[in-house]
Amino acid sequence: MAKKKVAAVVKIQIEAGKASPAPPVGTALGPHGIAIMDFVKAYNAKTEDKAGTVVPTEITIYEDRTFDFILKTPPASTLIRAAAGLEKAANNPGSEVAGSITPAQVKEIAEIKMPDLNANDIEAAMLQIEGTARSMGIEVG
């Protein structure tokens, strides 16, 4: 069987188990002519166990209007805010501290994010997570 030709790759972030044909899903997928409800049902079924977290998704749309999608790990900022117990990060990250997380929490987040990070080992991944936390006004230590 010949390989299908890719028409587009769409990346969107949707809360797990709560996809609907309304924006952002409808506006992202509508122009490509795929069956939006088929995607919504498949996405909600795959993410029902992760309820409450934002799950980035990479949707590959083929020329015959079929699609495949890959679930990514939640954004680092979401995981950091959850670990620090914060609703939102600092308004002025350079001069304001919103909260703090421990090195153990940084390692846990790095292990979760490892498949999607551009890091060779867990130490490099931890440095990336620490940098994200500092840019959000969250201390590590």
Q: Tens digit of pLDDT for each residue in 95-113?
A: 788 788 888 998 998 988 8
Q: Which two tokens stand for residue 47?
A: 């993410």
Q: What is the pTM of this model?
A: 0.73
- The pLDDT value given to residue 76: 87
Q: Burial code of 8-42, b = ≥16 C-beta within 10 A, e = fewer? A: eebebebebbebeeeeebeebbeeeebebeebbee
Mean pLDDT of 5-12: 85
Domains in the chain, please, with CATH? 6-71 (3.30.1550.10), 76-140 (1.10.10.250)
- Is the pLDDT at 118 greater than 70? The verdict is yes
pLDDT digits (tens, 9 = 90+) for 63-72: 888 888 888 8
- The pLDDT value given to residue 2: 59
- Is the pLDDT at 1 greater than 60? The verdict is no
Q: Which two tokens stand for residue 95?
A: 């001069």
Count of beta carbons in the 10 Å neighbourhood of residue 80: 24
- The pLDDT value given to residue 16: 82
pLDDT digits (tens, 9 = 90+) for 33-89: 888 888 888 888 888 887 778 888 898 988 888 888 888 888 888 888 888 888 877
Cβ atoms of residues 36 and 29 within 8 Å: yes
